[in-house]
Amino acid sequence: MSSMPDLPTTLQLLCHPATPAPMVGSVSVTVDFQTTHVVFSFCVRGDMARLRIPPEKNPARADLLWEHTCFEVFVSYEGDPAYREFNFSTSGQWAAFDFLEYRSRTQEDPAVPAPSISTRLTEGRLELNAVVPLSALPANPAGKTLQTGISAVIEAADTVDGAHSYWALKHPSPHPDFHHRAGHSLELPHSSHAGI
């Protein structure tokens, strides 16, 4: 696991070697815990004209966001096989899923408050800020260390099959797999998310 960073902290996501994306220069994320929420600020640098970026829609809950350009956060606690997945789209749509263990999704999705998503697109740069209420994170009654996996799916617009590249803090598998617990490599001290 990564050492516990000072917050806010900015980290670079790595492109999985099996999904090269020459049109993308870099993908980074800044994580900032506040009193009532946590902000995930993603930044993609590259040739925006060569990317497929979902246009703005009604900011509602939606499924299958990961089929297109999407930013994801996985939240778990040390020693607990369960985890929660968040998806944030440039459309403003979002999703949250609970898993009992590796890829074993619960029948009911968690009832959580909606994140606030804002997007800014300029030449050579895409920014997405997702403000997530701390109450949307899974409960941590034992005061365990929070472990997060942060990732992104970037969809190319100028390929025959709409190829995707997969970015994460760490890629523990020979194939892209954001659910792999070894990829949930960012540890945050309990004091930074007290009250959840």
pLDDT tens-digit series, residues 152-190: 999 999 876 568 999 999 999 999 999 999 999 998 765
Do 161 and 99 touch, CB atoms closer than 8 A?
no
Mean pLDDT of 93-109: 97
Do 153 and 72 touch, CB atoms closer than 8 A?
yes
pLDDT of residue 8: 79
pTM of the predicted model, to two decimals?
0.92
pLDDT of residue 1: 56
pLDDT of residue 196: 41
Helix/strand number for the chain, H first, E second: 0, 12
Q: For residue 95, give Cα distances in angstroms to 16, 62, 87, 142, 187.
A: 23, 6, 5, 26, 23
- What is the percent of the chain with per-residue pLDDT over 90, rounded to a whole number? 82
Q: For residue 143, give Cα distances in angstroms to 94, 133, 164, 192.
A: 27, 18, 37, 11
Q: Which CATH architecture has domain 9-193?
A: Sandwich (2.60)
Task: At 75, list the tokens.
Answer: 């939240």
Instruction: Read off the pLDDT of residues 36-78 as tens digits, 9 standing for 90 and up.
Output: 999 999 999 999 999 999 999 999 999 999 999 999 999 999 9
Task: At 172, list the tokens.
Answer: 């523990």
Q: Is 148 helix (H, G, I), strand (E, B) or coil?
A: strand
